[in-house]
Each structure stands twice: as C-alpha cells, then as structure tokens.
Structure 1
Amino acid sequence: MTHSPTETEKLQALATYADVKGVLGDMDDAMITAILALRPTIVDIEESSMWLSGDTDVFGPGQPLKDVPGQIVALLTADEEENTSRTR
C-alpha cells in the first residue's frame, strides 16, 4: 500500500529550488542557495512572497514577520536596505 502525504506533511515539506524560483521569481543561484540553507517549507516561501507583495491583511498591519519567512525577507531586502542607507 502506498502512503499518500497528509495535508500536514505537505505543509511541512521542505521547499526545493524549483519551489523558491516558482514562488519568489527569477533570482541568482547564490540567493536561492542562501534561502534553501534556511531549510524553508513551501509555506515559508509563500508567506515571504505575500509579505514582500505588501499583503499585510494576512499578517496584520505592523506585525513583524518571524522565523524562516522573516529571514527570507531579510535576505531578499538586504540590497534594498543597503542602497537606501547609501543614498541618505
């Protein structure tokens, strides 16, 4: 008998290279490798994407993004923050 993954198992499945690229878009391999080093789940990748798109209704306005999704957002926005501080 084959085992079909439960909904919980699907939510806990680690994201793959294709998942990161498919949800967050085209980016260089070094960034994808850094994100995968965090061992994110697909849900973590999706939450990061929603946060980056400005969908605060999901998280509540002004609420910080925590854990792995927060680390992913920090990686993806590090260049933006660097560029902003240089122009000030």
Structure 2
Amino acid sequence: MEWYIVGVTAALLTTFGFVPQIIKMYRSKSAKDVSIVTFFQFSAGVLLWALYGIHLRDIIIIAANTVSFMILLVAIALYYRYY
C-alpha cells in the first residue's frame, strides 16, 4: 500500500510542476524568459506516458499525464499570447 502512496505523490508533484510557471507568465504578462522547446518536449513526453498508461490500464499514469498534458497546453497558449 505504501508504494501506491509514493506513486500518487509523485504523480501529483510532477503533474502540477508547471503551474508556477503558468502563474508567473499570467501575472507578468510575459513569456520572454521561457523555453517553448521545453513545453513541447514535456508535452510529447507526457502524451506518450498517458498512452503507455492506457496500454497498462494504470489509472494513476493515465490521469497524471492527461492532466499534465492539459496544463502544458495552457502553458503553450500563454506562451504564444505573451511572447
């Protein structure tokens, strides 16, 4: 059972890892110091992880990476809005 908690905790930490950057871009109305390549690379990675989770039928992997992907789409949209 403790490994389940480790998995959920890891999923939460990584899923919401880009939220502080989104808040910073939104508040400053600037994305000049942000790397768009990082957002696209992470988006591709979490999309592949989500597909892998679907293959394994692992709800933690699916949920964490699907939410991460949506958060990254918001980050990419803000990047293009404020750059």
**Which one has a larger percent helix, Structure 1 or Structure 2?**
2
TM-score with structure 2 setting the length: 0.30
TM-score with structure 1 setting the length: 0.29
**Highest relative contact order (Cα 8 Å, sep 6+), 1 or 2?**
2
